[in-house]
């Protein structure tokens, strides 16, 4: 996407802070997280388990679990700050302007209603369609998400569909009202590669049609590389790197991003398939649990480049065109490269 | 000593699926239908395929955890599929399993040390003192501290729990370890740790693995040989380097295209080879090639006559009538950036 002008931001998250109420005061869950998703584009939010990806998504939806609250920063959806919006306003936005696909489609679908009823319900609620129009709309959505024999499947219950088809139904519900922002939390982790590729293709096709901005959550940057235009990498509740997906993938700036990319095996095809695979790079240690984050750079205890200066938390600083990274070393290497 | 440790011939597993109507014939899910393969000692044999293709059922059948409807499984000359009762119980020390969900496969009320010791207790291996020493050795072997033995499963991270499951599977010093999606529930960083651990243990202990995964990159990384399953049958089988260099079955092409790298080359490959739609129902599947419903290269013959696995090259088998005619797709352009 380099070279083209970036469309206006559909979502802009600015210095977002989320805390968990603890016995000894609030514990930081997300700290000073900033990223933006342009209209019609996809931003992938990447990070290991426990880094705060789902909490970021739930904060945007106004659905943080009990005990967690969003206490600093702004969440601007088309200019409106959701962080301070009243609950009634958030309810009205959810399902229409703003919608979400969850990791496990079975838990998000209602087992006692047919998939047709569930899509139609969204259309009735948010677009005020009558029953017949809503049913017709539901059928159209099932066709859009490429469910075979859509007319029959309208009357199927969720348990009668495969995992891939259920996720398609979730997408149909989430996109029924043409939201401006779709949040997809690991939408394909529970599915196999073939279905994953089909679902990503589908999301892209629908995005081209509707101009929806997508926030896609994953722990695997390679897996979402094809669909993401931009990425934001989270580590222990802080944003450590942002930038265009292709460039971050080709030349990650932050040591954590580099480590994440190096530790997953890459498929080698054709002539490249010959020869044994070397051992994978490992990132030693693990993400610090809540309440055990150090005062400096969160990644320093696992970072091979860490030094004394890393005791001060590095801010997210510009690192080349459209890119930013939070690492004291990044400035150094840029200087070296320039010199 | 024979080079082959595990020999699977014509393995078939069917599950009852009710009747077609009140007076209709009894129907069956043909979960595994005539699967044959051999696994060499100290090697890793991968099984890939779409969800529902029968991978886990093969694993459970090898472990004798599901009833076998037909065929033979032989472990180092011992006819596993024929063993019953006490003979089967005693044989179990030689083959163990690691599951996808490390949490569900551990008793939450028992401490890690007791969980690792359990197979030794059940199989009455060693004295109690020897078993305790063995637990400590196993903990260190999988990279867990000795104190971890006193913790409960919920006190471990996902990756640590999988280490615990591996330690437990290794306790009886098995020769064969069947791994069903052992890293699929883990994030990429933890996955790398577990994959490296599995490779190190294989080198150290001469272990033989059957490794099931839907992640082709992981399978390529770990396996010496790979079988591709579709709707209960093996449609292609080859040494790993051959399967990814010169795959011969259109279903394998679709699978590889789905997993191919990002970028224009990967997209071109998906446009050409990724098959749309879903596999047919595994309940009494139609005659002919099972992939014919989805295959872009289908002919009339494919719909009526089932293709058998036949040699495509040295050690390389594929089941497609049109194998010679279709040749090998040009994956050169999809090389990873
Ligand atoms: N309901 C909750 N109450 C308190 N803390 C929670 C709750 N849910 C999650 N956390 C904590 O918040 C932090 C961020 O969790 P989050 O679920 O956002 O991680 P994630 O990046 O989505 O991980 P995963 O890849 O495993 O889904 C973690 O330390 C987690 O333990
Ligand atoms: N106990 C059972 N009773 C009836 N049918 C079953 C049973 N177990 C599995 N099946 C069916 O057998 C087929 C093969 O299932 P299996 O679990 O082996 O697939 P798999 O390849 O492991 O899939 P996944 O990648 O989703 O784990 C499926 O159609 C499944 O629905
Ligand atoms: Mg999450
Ligand atoms: Mg399975």
Considering the domain architecture, whether residues A51 and A188 belong to the same structural domain is answered as yes
Chain A interface includes B161 (CB < 8 A): no
User: Ligand 2 in contact with B29 (CB < 6 A)?
Assistant: yes
Q: Is 80 exceeded by the pLDDT of residue B335?
A: no
Of B218, B245, B254, the CB nearest to A265: B218
Q: What confidence score (pLDDT) does residue B278 get?
A: 78
The CA angle A79-A81-A82, to the nearest 5 degrees, is 125
Question: Can you give the pLDDT of all 339 residues of chain A as single tens digits?
Answer: 444 566 789 999 999 999 999 888 899 999 999 999 999 999 999 998 889 999 999 999 999 999 999 999 999 999 999 999 999 999 999 988 999 998 766 677 899 999 999 999 999 988 889 999 999 999 999 988 888 788 888 999 998 888 888 888 998 999 888 899 999 998 887 677 787 888 888 899 889 999 999 999 998 888 888 899 999 999 999 999 999 999 999 999 999 999 999 888 888 888 888 877 778 888 888 888 888 888 899 999 999 999 999 999 999 999 988 999 999 998 665 444 443
- Residues of chain B with Cβ-Cβ distance to A53 below 8 Å are none
CB contact under 8 A, B187 and A250: no
pLDDT by residue (tens digit) across B304-325?
A: 999 999 999 999 999 999 999 9
The candidate with the shortest Cα–Cα distance to B256, out of B214, B294, B298, is B214
CB contact under 8 A, B222 and A277: yes
Considering the domain architecture, whether residues A92 and A108 belong to the same structural domain is answered as no
Last residue of a domain, one of A177, A207, A224: A177
CB contact under 8 A, B266 and A226: yes
CB contact under 8 A, B336 and A226: no
B183 against B266, higher pLDDT: B183
CB contact under 8 A, B241 and A146: no
Phi and psi of A189, rounded to 5°? -60, -35
Of B215, B241, B276, the CB nearest to A193: B215
CATH of the domain at A255: 3.40.50.300
The atom of ligand 2 lying closest to the CA of B282 is 29
Which residue is closest in CA terms to ligand 2's atom 14?
A: B54
Question: H helices within B171-281, ranges in order?
Answer: 188-205, 216-222, 240-245, 250-259, 263-273
For residue B54, the ligand closest to its alpha carbon is: 2
Which residue is closest in CA terms to ligand 2's atom 11?
A: B31
Query: Alpha-carbon distance B249 to B227, whole Å?
Result: 11
Which residue is closest in CA terms to ligand 1's atom 2?
A: A65
Kindly list the protein residues whose Cβ atom lies closer than 6 A to any atom of ligand 1: A 20, 29, 47, 49-55, 65, 67, 219, 289-290; B 187
Considering the domain architecture, whether residues A212 and A310 belong to the same structural domain is answered as yes
Which residues are CB-contacts of B27 (< 8 A; sequence separation ≥ 6)? Answer: B16, B17, B18, B19, B20, B283, B284
Q: What residue spans define the domains of chain B?
A: 245-337
For chain B, give the percent of residues with pLDDT over 70.
97
Instruction: List beta partners, residue A324.
Output: A242, A318
Residue A286 covered by a domain = yes
Query: Alpha-carbon distance B181 to B59, whole Å?
Result: 11
B258: left (phi over 0), alpha (psi -120 to 50) or beta: alpha
CB contact under 8 A, A265 and B220: yes
Number of domains in chain A: 2
Considering the domain architecture, whether residues A125 and A186 belong to the same structural domain is answered as no
- Residues of chain B with Cβ-Cβ distance to A165 below 8 Å are 278
Write A102-108 long-range contacts (CB < 8 A, 24+): A102/A170, A102/A185, A103/A185, A103/A186, A103/A187, A103/A189, A103/A190, A104/A190, A105/A158, A105/A163, A105/A166, A105/A167, A105/A169, A105/A170, A105/A190, A106/A158, A106/A159, A106/A166, A108/A170
Rounded to the nearest 10 degrees, the angle between the axes of helix A131-144 and helix A115-127 is 120
* Parent domain of A90: 9-97+179-337
Helix (H) or strand (E) holding A122: helix A115-127
Give the distance (Å) from ligand 1 centre to CA of residue A50. Answer: 5
- Residues of chain A with Cβ-Cβ distance to B278 below 8 Å are 148, 162, 164-165
Considering the domain architecture, whether residues A83 and A62 belong to the same structural domain is answered as yes
Considering the domain architecture, whether residues A57 and A73 belong to the same structural domain is answered as yes
Q: Is 50 exceeded by the pLDDT of residue B220?
A: yes
pLDDT by residue (tens digit) across B30-48?
A: 999 999 999 999 999 999 9
Confidence at B301, pLDDT banded by 50, 70, 90: very high
Residue A3 covered by a domain = no
- Residues of chain A with Cβ-Cβ distance to B51 below 8 Å are 162-164, 191-192, 195
Whether A242 and A230 have beta carbons less than 8 Å apart is answered as yes
CB contact under 8 A, B189 and A48: yes
For residue A19, the ligand closest to its alpha carbon is: 1
The atom of ligand 1 lying closest to the CA of A219 is 25
- Residues of chain A with Cβ-Cβ distance to B330 below 8 Å are 270
Question: How many H helices and E strands in chain B?
Answer: 12, 12
Considering the domain architecture, whether residues A209 and A171 belong to the same structural domain is answered as no
Residue A319 covered by a domain = yes
Query: Alpha-carbon distance A317 to A334, whole Å?
Result: 12
Q: How many CB atoms lie within 10 A of CB A307?
A: 10
Residue A51 covered by a domain = yes
Distance in Å, alpha carbon of A274 to nearest chain B alpha carbon: 5
Considering the domain architecture, whether residues A173 and A204 belong to the same structural domain is answered as no
Query: Alpha-carbon distance B302 to B295, whole Å?
Result: 10
CB contact under 8 A, B336 and A272: yes
Give the distance (Å) from ligand 1 centre to CA of residue A289. Answer: 9
Across residues B77-86, what is the average pLDDT? Answer: 92
Q: What confidence score (pLDDT) does residue B13 get?
A: 96
Handedness of CA A104, A107, A108, A114 (dihedral sign): positive
Q: Is 70 exceeded by the pLDDT of residue B326?
A: yes
Mean pLDDT of chain A: 88
| Strands ordered across the beta sheet of A80-81 | A27-38, A9-20, A68-77, A80-81
Confidence at B68, pLDDT banded by 50, 70, 90: very high
Considering the domain architecture, whether residues A148 and A282 belong to the same structural domain is answered as no
- Residues of chain B with Cβ-Cβ distance to A274 below 8 Å are 241, 245
Q: Which of A275-289, B42-56, B243-257 has the lowest mean pLDDT?
A: A275-289
Confidence at B190, pLDDT banded by 50, 70, 90: confident
Residue A19 covered by a domain = yes
Chain A interface includes B121 (CB < 8 A): no
Considering the domain architecture, whether residues A216 and A320 belong to the same structural domain is answered as yes
The atom of ligand 1 lying closest to the CA of A56 is 18
Rounded to the nearest 10 degrees, the angle between the axes of helix B250-259 and helix A193-210 is 60
Q: What confidence score (pLDDT) does residue A121 get?
A: 92
Considering the domain architecture, whether residues A244 and A322 belong to the same structural domain is answered as yes
Which 8-state DSSP code applies to residue A148? T
Q: Per-residue b/e over B269-292, b at no fewer than 16 CB within 10 Å?
A: bbeebbbeebbeebeebeebbbbb
Considering the domain architecture, whether residues A131 and A206 belong to the same structural domain is answered as no
Residue A69 covered by a domain = yes
């Amino acid at each position: 996407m380099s070279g083209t002008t970036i469309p206006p931001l559909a979502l802009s998250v600015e210095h977002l802070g989320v805390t968990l109420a603890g016995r000894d005061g609030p514990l930081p869950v997300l700290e000073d997280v900033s990223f933006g998703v342009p209209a019609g584009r996809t931003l992938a939010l990447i990070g290991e388990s426990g880094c705060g990806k789902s909490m970021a998504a739930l904060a945007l939806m106004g659905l943080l679990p009990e005990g967690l609250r969003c206490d600093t920063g702004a969440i601007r959806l088309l200019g409106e700050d959701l962080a301070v919006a009243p609950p009634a306003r958030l309810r009205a936005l959810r399902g229409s302007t703003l919608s979400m696909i969850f990791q496990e489609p079975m838990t998000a679908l209602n087992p006692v209603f047919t998939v047709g009823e569930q899509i139609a319900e969204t259309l009735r609620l948010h677009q005020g369609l009558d029953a017949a129009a809503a049913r017709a709309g539901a059928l159209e959505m099932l066709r859009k998400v490429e469910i075979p024999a859509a007319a029959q499947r309208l009357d199927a219950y969720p348990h009668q569909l495969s995992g891939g088809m259920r996720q398609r139904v979730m997408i149909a519900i989430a996109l029924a009202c043409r939201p401006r922002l779709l949040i997809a939390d690991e939408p394909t982790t529970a599915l196999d590669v073939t279905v994953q590729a089909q679902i990503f293709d589908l999301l892209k096709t629908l995005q081209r049609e509707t101009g929806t901005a997508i926030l896609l959550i994953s722990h695997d940057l390679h897996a979402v590389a094809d669909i993401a235009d931009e990425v934001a990498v989270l580590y222990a509740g802080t944003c450590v790197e942002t930038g265009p997906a292709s460039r971050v993938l080709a030349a990650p700036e932050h040591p954590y991003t580099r480590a994440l990319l190096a530790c997953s095996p890459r498929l080698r095809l054709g002539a490249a398939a010959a020869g044994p695979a070397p051992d994978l790079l490992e990132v030693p240690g693990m993400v610090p649990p809540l309440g055990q984050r150090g005062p400096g750079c969160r990644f320093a205890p696992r970072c091979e480049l860490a030094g004394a200066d890393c005791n001060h938390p590095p801010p997210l600083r510009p690192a080349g065109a459209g890119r930013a990274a939070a690492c004291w070393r990044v400035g150094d290497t840029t200087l070296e490269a320039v010199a | 000593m024979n080079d082959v440790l595990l020999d699977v011939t014509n393995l078939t597993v069917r599950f009852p699926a009710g009747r077609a109507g009140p007076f209709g014939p009894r129907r069956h899910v043909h979960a595994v239908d005539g699967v044959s393969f051999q696994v060499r000692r100290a090697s890793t044999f991968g099984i890939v395929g779409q969800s529902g293709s029968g991978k886990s059922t093969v694993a459970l059948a090898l472990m004798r955890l599901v009833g076998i409807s037909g065929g033979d499984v032989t472990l180092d000359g011992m006819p596993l599929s024929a063993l019953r009762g006490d003979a089967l119980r005693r044989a179990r020390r030689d083959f163990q399993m690691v599951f996808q969900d490390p949490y569900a496969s551990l008793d939450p009320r028992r401490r890690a040390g007791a969980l690792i010791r359990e197979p030794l207790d059940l199989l009455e291996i060693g004295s109690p003192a020897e078993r305790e020493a063995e637990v400590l050795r196993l903990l260190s072997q999988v990279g867990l501290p000795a104190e971890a033995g006193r913790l409960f499963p919920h006190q471990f991270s996902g990756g640590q729990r999988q280490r615990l499951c591996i330690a437990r599977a290794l306790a009886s010093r098995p020769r064969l370890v069947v791994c069903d999606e052992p890293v699929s529930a883990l994030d990429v960083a933890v996955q790398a740790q577990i994959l490296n651990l599995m490779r190190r243990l294989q080198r150290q202990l001469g272990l033989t693995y059957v490794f099931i995964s839907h992640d082709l990159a992981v399978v390529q990384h770990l396996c010496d040989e790979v079988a591709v399953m579709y709707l209960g049958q093996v449609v292609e089988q080859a040494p790993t380097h051959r399967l990814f260099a010169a795959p011969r079955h259109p279903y394998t092409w679709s699978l590889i295209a789905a997993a191919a790298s990002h970028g224009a080359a990967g997209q071109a490959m998906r446009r050409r080879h990724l098959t749309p739609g879903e596999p047919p129902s595994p309940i009494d599947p139609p005659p002919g090639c099972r992939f014919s419903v989805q295959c872009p290269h289908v002919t009339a013959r494919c719909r009526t006559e089932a293709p058998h696995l036949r040699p495509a090259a040295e050690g390389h088998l594929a089941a497609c009538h049109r194998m010679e005619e279709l040749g090998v797709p040009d994956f050169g352009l999809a090389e990873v950036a």
